[in-house]
Structure 1
Amino acid sequence: MKELGFLEQGRIAQQKILEDGSLFPTVLLPPSADENPSIGSFLNAIQHNSEWIDNELNRSGALLFRGFPLKSASDFNGAVEAFGWEEHLYLGLASRTRIEGRVYTANEAPLDQPIKFHHEMAMFDDFPTKLIFFCEIAPPEGGQTAIVLSHKITQRMEQIYPELVKKLEEGLIYPCSLPQEDDPQSFFRGWQSRYETNNRQEAERKLIMSGVPVSKTTWADDGRMSFEMGPIVSIRTVDGDADKRKAWFNPSPALEITPTLGDGSLFPEEAFESSIQIIEEECVEINWEVGDVLVLDNRFVQHARRPSTPPRRLLAAFCK
């Protein structure tokens, strides 16, 4: 294994071997000579290897730090700060609570429900480029976080549906509906909680100010707020990316909605099912251990949550 100052590269059974022989995700461990690594040594390792970490994250898309003694939200917040990346405020639809500093809860949806593959804040032009997850309580069964290289999805879909992929690069229209109040059985917050108001006009103003292109806002008798988002580019490239990777930024499965193409037609069901199958074939499931820190390049890696039995507690941070 290659030594990196205070870090060593390791292996987990779930890693995939990519075409160039590299592993996804990259696993980083304390040096074998350090039987009792401290939190301080972990923070030093991050800072000592910051340039390598940035380059490796850009190359591989995912870094799993395992075997370090992080226990709490405070420990995790220290690690987030040590990476040195600027905070990106969370503006997504999911239910989350800020815990400490830059640390939020992961999606608070019921643990027996899966969260399907998505890029974080995929509906926004200004989305976080990096996500950091921390396992405070590992689930007794299930609860894996599955990750997938998004450009692999695009590559395979281009082989099957080349014309559809071209349309996705032009953008999709997504219908969206938010309840008035929070529903503990839903993945999404109610609009009153999300926009911190019970005034409909103020909620509409904040929706527009969020940066998502929206139209056709309507209100139901029960207070539900409905609108259309888009057109939203659903295959994204990154300026300066030497490999010119095209990331599959279509969050339809996670939102459980069928988007509309630019010509007004619905996303073909057959292609929709093909994309889900490809994602499942390409993904890697991370079995959480207490203290794990998983860093994802949100530009090129999607993530999902498998159902689990309680307890399970993951924390999250979002970076520019």
Structure 2
Amino acid sequence: MPENLLTQVGIPQQKLHSGVPFPAVLTPNSNQPKSQLPQIIKEQKTWIGSLLHQSGAVLFRGFPVNSASDFNDVVEAFGYEELPYVGGAAPRTSVVGRVFTANESPPDQKIPFHHEMAQVPEYPSKLFFFCDVEPGSGGETPIVPSHVVYEKMKNKYPEFVERLEEHGLIYIRVLGEDDDPSSPIGRGWKSTFLTKDKSVAEERFHDLRALVVQMVQCLKQSYCTLHMRISDSSVLEKRTLQDLLGIASFEQHKVMKYKTLVTAVVEKCRQGRRAAKLGMKLEWLEDGVKTVMGPIPGIKFNQERQQKIWFNSMVAAYTGWKDARNDPVKAVTFGDGQPLPAEVVHDCLSILEDESVAIPWKKGDILLIDNLAVLHSRKSFNPPRRVLASLCK
């Protein structure tokens, strides 16, 4: 494919970090049919990946991406494995394929800087945003390089950073039963753990293992060659069964009339592992659940770039985890349970804002972010605005 199908350009909002434009911006050199865009990405993936590695974020602008389905095709073209949104705080709605809405909190509320799902052990390595409907005004998604924040915090507050590296952070959040669209952290426990059953949300997998093994032994008597589809439309293959059941070898079986039973029990196993897998402690309340996550490292070492990064949701939790159930000052502490100094947290927010880039959204824009290199946020806006997202392992 000719190299001139994609070109790197500059825009007024960009910043330079060590001579590298942040973010990198790609536009088409000529009008390309929509059907060719995924193919262009597949053939230029190595070059795009190098830009992402250098800059931490790549903005695609001016491409004919007109719908959520188009966006899903673009995400699929990159070939990254999907990461289900389990354990996150934001209320979201599934749209199509791997695409869901970005945080649906009210437009007058800002969403503070954070690495996506930094408060849980399993977080995305990359995330995509897509502008489906331009904001009336405002609504930018500011981004900032994480290593720059770390360096500035280390220079200004060395003792705080040392303590953060030693103890990590604990995140505390109270979830209601159902989603609360009026709150930026209003995701209820049912959608957080993808179940309506309290026991399922906290059970460990081994409590159900014997039941599943017994069921499978019964199926062995009648069927062979397993190939089943479960509720999320993915194919449950031998390797997945081995992972779920902890069985070293597994003879495959064909599921026909027992498909519904198998589906229900296997899904129950998967759900039962969710809270435990996240390392989350649950305290059930009369009308919700208190979740305690951590201690979790607040600073990580980025192996690909050989640099330390400010990988946490400290500022987001301390300044933004506020609703009828949650006091943001109590939402995050040091890993030893001691409170964070307010002046340091608020100064960190100032650093984030000073170093950030806020690019106005245009219809069809796609922003690819390396979640291990860049924090993001959202400014308040006047409707309409519709930004969609997709997470990758």
TM-score normalised by the chain length of structure 2: 0.75
Judged with a 3 Å threshold, the aligned counterparts in structure 2 of structure 1 residues 279 and 120 are, in CA distance, closer, same or farther, namely: same
The one-letter amino acid paired with 1:62 is: A
Judged with a 3 Å threshold, the aligned counterparts in structure 2 of structure 1 residues 101 and 196 are, in CA distance, closer, same or farther, namely: closer
Aligned with residue 81 of structure 2, among 81, 86, 90: 86
Determine if the alignment matches structure 1 residue 184 to structure 2 residue 155.
no
SS in 2 for 1:148: strand
- Find the aligned partners of 1:17 and 1:304 in 2 and give their Cα distance: 20
1:156 equivalent in structure 2: 152
SS in 1 for 2:363: coil
Determine if the alignment matches structure 1 residue 99 to structure 2 residue 95.
yes
Judged with a 3 Å threshold, the aligned counterparts in structure 2 of structure 1 residues 151 and 88 are, in CA distance, closer, same or farther, namely: same
**Structure index of larger Rg:** 2
* Number of aligned residues: 310
- Find the aligned partners of 1:66 and 1:157 in 2 and give their Cα distance: 33
Task: Quote the offset at 1:159 in angstroms.
Answer: 0.5
- Quote the sequence identity (%): 45
Alignment of 1:199-218 (within 5 A): 199-205=197-203, 209-210=274-275, 211-215=277-281, 217-218=282-283
Aligned with residue 57 of structure 1, among 21, 40, 52: 52
Judged with a 3 Å threshold, the aligned counterparts in structure 2 of structure 1 residues 4 and 275 are, in CA distance, closer, same or farther, namely: farther
In 1, are the aligned partners of 2:134 and 2:384 still within 8 Å (CA)?
yes
| Stretch deviating more after TM superposition (300-309 or 198-207) | 198-207
Alignment of 1:139-178 (within 5 A): 139-170=135-166, 171-178=168-175
The one-letter amino acid paired with 2:69 is: S
Task: Quote the offset at 1:123 in angstroms.
Answer: 1.6
2:313 equivalent in structure 1: 251
- Find the aligned partners of 1:129 and 1:183 in 2 and give their Cα distance: 27
Judged with a 3 Å threshold, the aligned counterparts in structure 2 of structure 1 residues 5 and 45 are, in CA distance, closer, same or farther, namely: farther
In 1, are the aligned partners of 2:120 and 2:293 still within 8 Å (CA)?
no
In 2, are the aligned partners of 1:74 and 1:100 still within 8 Å (CA)?
yes
SS in 2 for 1:275: helix
- Find the aligned partners of 1:281 and 1:196 in 2 and give their Cα distance: 38
Aligned with residue 227 of structure 1, among 283, 286, 291: 291
Aligned with residue 302 of structure 1, among 365, 375, 388: 375
The one-letter amino acid paired with 1:230 is: G
| Stretch deviating more after TM superposition (115-124 or 3-12) | 3-12
Determine if the alignment matches structure 1 residue 319 to structure 2 residue 314.
no
Unaligned runs of 5+ in 2: 204-270, 322-327
2:243 equivalent in structure 1: none
Judged with a 3 Å threshold, the aligned counterparts in structure 2 of structure 1 residues 207 and 5 are, in CA distance, closer, same or farther, namely: farther
In 1, are the aligned partners of 2:7 and 2:27 still within 8 Å (CA)?
yes
Task: Quote the offset at 1:267 in angstroms.
Answer: 1.1
Task: Quote the offset at 1:317 in angstroms.
Answer: 0.9
Task: Quote the offset at 1:110 in angstroms.
Answer: 1.4
Unaligned runs of 5+ in 1: none
Alignment of 1:12-31 (within 5 A): 12-18=11-17, 20-31=18-29
Task: Quote the offset at 1:207 in angstroms.
Answer: 8.1
The one-letter amino acid paired with 1:297 is: D
1:237 equivalent in structure 2: 301
1:127 equivalent in structure 2: 123
Judged with a 3 Å threshold, the aligned counterparts in structure 2 of structure 1 residues 11 and 192 are, in CA distance, closer, same or farther, namely: same
Determine if the alignment matches structure 1 residue 10 to structure 2 residue 75.
no
In 2, are the aligned partners of 1:14 and 1:284 still within 8 Å (CA)?
yes
- Find the aligned partners of 1:149 and 1:184 in 2 and give their Cα distance: 29
The one-letter amino acid paired with 1:299 is: L
The one-letter amino acid paired with 1:85 is: Y
- Find the aligned partners of 1:11 and 1:23 in 2 and give their Cα distance: 8
Judged with a 3 Å threshold, the aligned counterparts in structure 2 of structure 1 residues 235 and 42 are, in CA distance, closer, same or farther, namely: same
SS in 2 for 1:201: helix
Task: Quote the offset at 1:115 in angstroms.
Answer: 1.0
In 1, are the aligned partners of 2:201 and 2:274 still within 8 Å (CA)?
no
In 2, are the aligned partners of 1:208 and 1:214 still within 8 Å (CA)?
no
Judged with a 3 Å threshold, the aligned counterparts in structure 2 of structure 1 residues 269 and 132 are, in CA distance, closer, same or farther, namely: same
Judged with a 3 Å threshold, the aligned counterparts in structure 2 of structure 1 residues 231 and 305 are, in CA distance, closer, same or farther, namely: same
In 2, are the aligned partners of 1:47 and 1:82 still within 8 Å (CA)?
yes
- Find the aligned partners of 1:5 and 1:45 in 2 and give their Cα distance: 11
SS in 1 for 2:52: helix
Judged with a 3 Å threshold, the aligned counterparts in structure 2 of structure 1 residues 150 and 13 are, in CA distance, closer, same or farther, namely: same
Determine if the alignment matches structure 1 residue 260 to structure 2 residue 333.
yes
